[in-house]
C-alpha cells in the first residue's frame, strides 16, 4: 500500500504507461545502457529495450557520430557475450574501432546486402530470433508498414532493434519508439592538451513515445557516457603543434 | 554366399556404335582411325574388315593396300569412355553397383540380384540379348571374382557361368593374357613357354615374384579371390538418402511441400539417432519427362532439425519447375558431420555464437539472399588498417590475439581513401585546412602523425602518415599523407575515415 504522495504519483505514472501501451521491460533493473543523464526522457525512467529505435543522420560526419553513440549503447546491451547482428546496405563500420566503445568486434556478425528491401527482410528475420542482444540495420528508407512489421517482430522476441537511416529523403512517420539525431560537437580538452578530445555529441531525442523529447550534450570516455556540463567557458584553442 | 560379378566385354564397341548411327556400314569393311606420329593409325575395325586381315594398330595406308574399298572414319576422342558410362548407367536396372572397365568392358556386382531373373543363366542371357538387340557384339561371364569373370568373358570357351568357388578350375586352360597382365610380363611368360595359366599357377610364389614381379601375383590372387577387388561404382550410393515415389505425378507447390516434409522427417530421425547433422543437402525431383530438378541447401553448422531444414528448402521450392509432374523425390545429404550435443543453458539473457538459433538465422539469411553476405571479423597481426582484421572462417572461431585499442581508430572507414586538397606546413605538420567533396574544413585541433609503414613483404608503395583532425564544427576526420615530401612530385593527401 503506497503511503507517501511521491509513491502514489509514481504508481499512477506506471499505471498510465501501461494504459498507453508501454510494456515494461521484464528485467528492467538488469539492463542499464549507461544513458544515466537521459533517464528523465524515458518512460518509467528506463531505456526502452525490446523496441525499435530510429537514428537519423545526414552527412558522413553525422553518420560517424551516430555510429559511435549507437556503439556505446550496444556495448552495454552486449554484456555477457551477447551477440549483435549488424545489417547494412553500404557498410563503412571499421570493426577494430568498435572495441573503443566496449564491444568485442568478434561478437558482431555483419550481414551485407545490396538493397533496402533485403535489409528490411533480414532485419525482420533477425528480430524474430530471441538469441540476440541487438539488431542494427543501416539503410536509407523505411516505410510505415515496414516499421510496423519490425515492431511486431520485437514484441514477440524482446530484442532491441536500431534502424540507422542515413540521408533519408524525408522523415516519414514510423512506429519506432524513439527517434534520435546525433551530431558531432567540438570536443573539449583539459589543460590545453593538444589534439582532438573524447568523442562529443549533441544528442537530440526528436521523438519519444510516452517520454519527454529533449537535447543533451554527451561525451564518451571510460567506457561510458558522460554529460558535458552546460556552464563551461570555451577554452582557448591550442595552437597547431606537431606531436610525436 | 560369395560375391558374384559379371564382366561384359564389348568386342567392337566403337564400330558397333558407328553402325548404330549409320546402318549402311554394316556390311562394308570400315575402320576408325586417329592421327599418330604423322600418319593415320587404325584404332578400331569392324568384323568384315577384320575378316580381311585388318587389325587395330595398322597404318591406314597399309590397310588400304589390302582392301582398296576400305572406308575410314575419324575416331571420336573419349568416345569409348562416354559409351561405357552410358551403358553402365543403363545396367543399373540389373544391379545397383555398375562400374566401367576401360577401354571396352563393364563390371557389375550382381551379388543377390540374379534370383530376380530366375537364376544366373537367364540373367546373363537377358543382359546379353538386350545388349545384342542394341547392336553391340558382347561376351559376358559370371564368376566369384572380377578377375575370373574378366578372363572367362574374353578367353573362356566352355561356359560363361563359373559356379561358385570353381574359378581356379576354369582359369587353368586360359592363356596368361586372361589375367590382365602388363605386355612385358606376357612377353616374358610367352618366351618361357608358359602358354597357359595352369602351367605356372602352382609354381612357388617367391620364384614367380622374382621373375615376373608382384603384379602377376596380385592379379592371380585377385582372379582366385584371395585378394579382394572392389569396383568403383558409377553411381555412388549416398549413405544418407531418402526416396519418396509418388503414385500420381505431383505438380503443385503444396504437394512438393508435403513430400519434402516427409523426406526431412525420415532423414532427420535417422540423423538424430546416429548423432549426426547435415551440412549440405540436395533435393532431386525426377519428372515424368525424364528431367531432373535439383535444389540444394547448406548450413553453417551440422543440423538435424527438420523444421529448420524445411525453412531453408522452403525458400527454393518456387524454383522447382514441376512441368508435367514429379514422380520421384530423392533427398540426399551430401555432407554429414557429427553434431555436438550442446548442453542446454537453463537461463541466459542474451545468446552467444554457439546458439543454435543464431546459426539457423544466418542459414536462412544466406539461403534467401545469397552466399557470402555474412561476415564476422577477428583481429589480425597487421598495422595496416585495411589488414588489421580478417574474416573469421566460422562462427565458433575465437580471436587468437586481443583487439588493439591503444591507437585512435575511426568508427567509419572509407572503402577507398579519397583524395583531398590540403594546405599544410612542411615538413610534417598536420594540415591547416582541407577540402573534401567541395567543402572547406578549417582544422582546429590535430594529433599525429602516426606513421604506418606498408608491409614490404606483401606489397610495395609509400608509407602513410596519419593525423586525427577536428574542424571548427567539431567534425573529426582521419587524414593521411602518402609518402615523404618530394621535390619532384606533388604530395598526396587522403581522407580515410570519420571518428565518432
Question: Buried (b) or exposed (e) across A27-42, using 16+ Cβ within 10 A?
Answer: eeeebebbbeebeebb
Q: What is the pLDDT of residue B130?
A: 92
Residue A238's alpha-carbon distances to A34, A183, B440, B498, in angstroms, are 31, 23, 21, 22
Model pLDDT, residue A30:
45
Contact flag A80-B349 (C-beta cutoff 8 Å)? yes
Report the distance separating Cα A146 and Cα A120, nearest Å.
7
Paired sense of beta strands A84-88 and A134-139, if any: parallel
Grouped pLDDT means (10 residues each) for chain B, 500 residues: 87 89 87 88 88 87 88 87 90 88 88 87 92 90 91 87 88 90 90 89 89 89 86 75 89 90 90 85 90 86 84 86 89 82 49 70 84 88 90 80 88 92 84 91 88 88 90 91 79 90
Residue A48 counted as domain residue: no
User: Among candidates A134, A139, A106, which has minimal Cα distance to A121?
Assistant: A139
C-alpha–C-alpha distance, residues B330 and A120, integer Å: 34
Mean per-residue pLDDT, A19-44: 66
- pLDDT computed for residue B350 by the predictor: 45
A241 assigned to some structural domain: no
Cβ proximity of B5 and B20 under 8 Å? no
How large is the average pLDDT for residues A115-139? 90
Greater model confidence, A104 or A235: A104
pLDDT score, position B498: 93
Helix, strand, coil in percent for chain B, rounding step 5: 30, 30, 40
CB count, 10 Å around CB of B77?
A: 9
Point out the residue among B351, B443, B499 whose CB comes nearest to the CB of A83: B351
Q: How far apart are CA B314 and CA A122, in angstroms?
A: 16
For residue B375, the 8-state DSSP code is: E
State how far the Cα of B31 lies from the Cα of B75, in Å rounded to an integer: 9
> Using CB atoms, which residue from A63, A106, A243 is nearest to B378?
A106
Alpha carbon distance A8, B275 (integer Å): 58
Q: Which H, E and C letters describe chain A, residue by residue?
A: CCCCHHHHHHHHHHHHHHHCCCCCCCCCCCCCCCCHHHHHHCHHHCCCCCCEEEEEECCHHHHHHHHHHHHHHHHHHCCCCCCEEEEECCCCECHHHHHHHCCCHHHEEEEECCCHHHHHHHHHHHHCCCCCCEEEEEECCCCHHHHHHHHHHHHHHCCEEEEEEECCCCCCCCCCCEEEEEEECCCCCHHHCCCCCCCEEEEEEEEECCCCCEEEEEEEECCEEEECCCCCCCCCCCCCCCCC
Q: How many domains does chain A have?
A: 1
CATH of the domain at A208: 3.40.50.300
Instruction: List CB contacts of B439: < 8 A, sequence separation 6 or more.
Output: none
Angle B253-273/B306-314 helices, nearest 10 degrees? 150
**What residues make up the domain containing A116?**
53-226
* A26/B347 Cα distance (integer angstroms): 14
Residue A238 covered by a domain: no
Q: Does the CB of B73 have a partner CB in chain A at under 8 Å?
A: no
Q: What is the ipTM, given to two decimal places? A: 0.84
Q: Do A112 and B361 touch (CB under 8 A)?
A: no
Q: Which three cell numbers stand for residue B329?
A: 523425390
Q: Which among A65, A97, A113 is the nearest to B409, CB-wise? A: A97
**A5 inside domain:** no
Cα–Cα distance for residue pair B313/B320, rounded to 1 Å: 11
What is the spatial distance between Cα B407 and Cα B20, in angstroms, rounded to a whole number? 78
| Confidence check: pLDDT of A2 > 60 | no
Task: Give a yes or no: residue A113 inside a domain.
Answer: yes
Q: Is A94 in contact with B405 (Cβ distance < 8 A)?
A: no
Q: What percentage of residues in chain A have a pLDDT greater than 70?
A: 86
What pLDDT score was predicted for residue A23? 65
Distance, CA of B166 to CA of B149 (rounded, Å): 12
Chain B, 390-429: which have a CB under 8 Å from a chain A CB? 392, 395, 398-399, 403-405, 408-415, 428-429
Smallest CA-to-CA distance from B342 within B430, B425, B414, B275 is with: B275
Cell 562394308 belongs to residue: B28
CATH number, domain B1-28+69-237, options 3.30.70.270, 1.10.940.10, 2.30.30.180, 3.10.20.30: 3.30.70.270
Stretch 349-388 of chain B: residues touching chain A, C-beta under 8 Å: 349-353, 355, 357-358, 360-362, 364-365, 368-369, 373-379, 385, 388
Question: What is the average per-residue pLDDT within A235-242?
Answer: 49
What is the nearest CA distance from B351 to chain A, expressed in angstroms? 4
Residue B345: the pLDDT is 47
* pLDDT for the residue numbered B354: 63
Contact state of B375 with A71 under an 8 Å Cβ cutoff: no
| Per-residue pLDDT at A135 | 93
Domain ranges of chain B: 1-28+69-237, 241-338, 375-406, 412-498
pLDDT of A49? 84
* pLDDT recorded at residue A95: 92
Is A33 in CB contact (< 8 Å) with chain B? no
- Rounded-to-integer distance, Cα B352 and Cα B354, Å: 5
Longest dimension (CA), chain A: 66
Place of cell 543440423: B303
Query: Which of A95, A122, A184 is nearest residue B475 as measured by Cβ atoms?
Result: A184
- In tens, the pLDDT along A172-218 reads 888 888 999 999 998 887 767 778 888 899 999 998 888 888 888 88
The structural architecture, per CATH, of the domain B241-338 is 2-Layer Sandwich (3.30)
The verdict on a CB contact (< 8 Å) between A110 and B398 is: no
Amino acid at each position: 500500500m503506497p503511503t507517501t504522495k511521491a509513491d502514489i504519483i509514481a504508481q499512477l505514472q506506471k499505471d498510465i504507461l501501461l494504459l498507453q501501451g508501454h510494456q515494461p521491460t521484464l528485467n528492467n533493473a538488469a539492463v542499464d545502457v549507461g544513458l544515466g543523464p537521459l533517464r528523465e526522457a524515458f518512460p518509467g525512467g528506463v531505456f526502452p529495450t525490446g523496441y525499435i529505435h530510429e537514428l537519423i543522420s545526414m552527412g558522413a560526419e553525422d553518420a560517424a557520430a551516430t555510429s559511435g553513440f549507437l556503439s556505446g549503447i550496444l556495448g552495454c546491451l552486449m554484456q555477457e557475450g551477447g551477440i549483435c547482428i549488424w545489417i547494412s546496405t553500404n557498410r563503412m563500420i571499421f570493426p577494430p574501432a568498435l572495441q573503443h566503445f566496449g564491444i568485442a568486434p568478434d561478437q558482431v556478425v555483419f550481414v551485407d546486402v545490396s538493397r533496402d528491401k533485403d535489409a528490411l527482410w533480414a532485419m525482420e528475420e533477425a528480430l524474430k530470433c530471441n538469441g540476440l542482444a541487438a539488431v542494427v540495420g543501416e539503410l536509407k528508407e523505411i516505410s510505415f508498414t515496414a516499421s510496423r512489421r519490425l515492431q511486431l517482430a520485437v514484441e514477440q522476441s524482446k530484442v532491441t532493434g536500431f534502424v540507422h537511416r542515413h540521408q533519408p529523403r524525408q522523415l516519414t512517420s514510423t512506429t519506432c519508439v524513439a527517434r534520435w539525431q546525433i551530431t558531432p560537437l567540438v570536443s573539449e580538452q583539459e589543460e590545453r592538451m593538444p589534439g582532438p578530445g573524447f568523442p562529443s555529441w549533441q544528442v537530440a531525442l526528436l521523438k519519444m513515445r510516452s517520454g519527454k523529447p529533449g537535447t543533451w550534450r554527451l561525451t564518451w570516455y571510460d567506457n561510458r557516457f558522460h554529460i558535458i556540463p552546460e556552464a563551461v567557458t570555451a577554452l582557448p584553442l591550442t595552437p597547431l603543434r606537431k606531436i610525436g | 554366399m560369395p560375391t558374384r560379378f559379371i564382366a561384359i566385354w564389348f568386342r567392337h564397341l566403337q564400330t558397333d556404335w558407328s553402325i548404330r548411327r549409320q546402318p549402311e556400314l554394316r556390311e562394308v569393311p570400315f575402320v576408325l582411325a586417329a592421327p599418330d606420329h604423322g600418319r593415320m593409325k587404325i584404332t578400331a575395325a569392324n568384323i568384315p574388315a577384320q575378316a580381311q586381315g585388318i587389325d587395330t594398330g595398322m597404318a591406314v595406308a597399309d590397310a588400304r593396300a589390302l582392301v582398296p574399298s576400305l572406308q575410314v572414319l575419324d575416331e571420336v576422342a573419349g568416345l569409348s569412355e562416354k559409351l561405357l558410362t552410358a551403358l553402365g548407367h543403363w545396367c543399373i536396372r540389373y544391379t545397383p553397383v555398375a562400374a566401367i572397365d576401360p577401354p571396352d568392358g563393364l563390371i557389375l556386382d550382381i551379388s543377390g540380384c540374379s534370383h530376380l531373373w530366375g537364376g544366373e543363366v537367364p540373367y546373363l542371357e537377358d543382359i546379353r540379348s538386350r545388349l545384342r538387340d542394341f547392336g553391340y557384339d558382347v561376351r559376358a561371364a559370371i564368376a566369384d571374382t572380377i578377375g575370373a569373370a574378366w578372363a572367362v568373358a574374353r578367353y573362356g570357351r566352355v561356359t560363361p557361368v563359373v559356379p561358385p568357388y570353381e574359378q581356379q578350375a576354369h582359369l587353368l586352360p586360359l592363356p596368361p593374357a586372361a589375367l590382365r597382365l602388363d605386355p612385358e610380363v606376357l612377353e616374358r611368360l610367352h618366351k618361357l613357354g608358359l602358354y597357359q595359366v595352369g602351367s605356372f599357377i602352382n609354381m612357388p610364389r617367391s620364384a614367380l615374384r622374382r621373375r615376373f614381379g608382384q603384379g602377376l601375383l596380385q592379379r592371380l590372387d585377385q582372379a582366385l579371390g584371395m585378394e579382394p577387388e572392389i569396383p568403383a561404382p558409377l553411381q555412388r550410393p549416398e549413405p544418407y538418402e531418402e526416396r519418396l515415389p509418388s503414385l500420381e505425378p505431383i505438380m503443385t507447390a503444396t504437394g512438393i511441400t508435403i513430400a519434402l516434409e516427409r523426406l526431412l522427417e525420415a532423414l532427420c530421425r535417422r540423423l538424430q539417432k546416429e548423432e549426426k547433422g547435415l551440412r549440405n543437402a540436395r533435393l532431386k525431383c525426377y519428372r515424368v519427362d525424364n528431367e531432373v530438378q535439383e535444389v540444394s541447401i547448406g548450413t553453417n553448422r551440422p543440423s538435424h532439425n527438420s523444421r529448420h531444414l524445411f525453412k531453408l528448402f522452403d525458400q527454393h521450392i518456387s524454383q522447382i519447375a514441376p512441368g508435367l509432374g514429379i514422380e520421384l523425390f530423392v533427398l540426399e545429404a551430401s555432407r554429414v558431420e557429427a553434431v555436438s550435443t550442446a548442453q542446454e543453458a537453463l537461463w541466459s539473457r542474451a545468446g552467444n555464437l554457439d546458439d543454435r538459433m543464431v546459426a539457423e538465422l544466418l542459414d536462412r539469411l544466406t539461403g534467401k539472399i545469397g552466399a557470402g553476405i555474412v561476415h564476422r571479423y577477428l583481429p589480425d597481426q597487421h598495422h595496416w588498417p585495411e589488414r588489421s582484421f580478417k574474416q573469421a572462417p566460422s562462427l565458433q572461431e575465437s580471436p587468437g590475439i586481443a583487439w588493439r585499442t591503444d591507437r585512435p581508430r575511426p568508427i567509419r572507414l572509407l572503402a577507398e581513401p579519397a583524395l583531398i586538397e590540403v594546405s599544410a606546413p612542411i615538413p610534417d605538420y598536420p594540415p591547416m585546412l582541407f577540402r573534401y567533396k567541395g567543402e572547406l574544413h578549417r582544422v582546429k585541433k590535430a594529433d599525429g602523425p602516426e606513421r604506418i609503414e606498408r608491409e614490404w613483404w606483401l606489397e610495395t608503395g609509400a608509407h602513410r602518415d596519419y593525423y586525427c583532425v577536428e574542424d571548427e564544427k567539431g567534425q573529426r576526420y582521419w587524414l593521411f599523407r602518402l609518402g615523404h615530401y618530394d621535390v619532384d612530385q606533388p604530395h598526396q593527401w587522403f581522407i580515410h575515415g570519420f571518428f565518432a
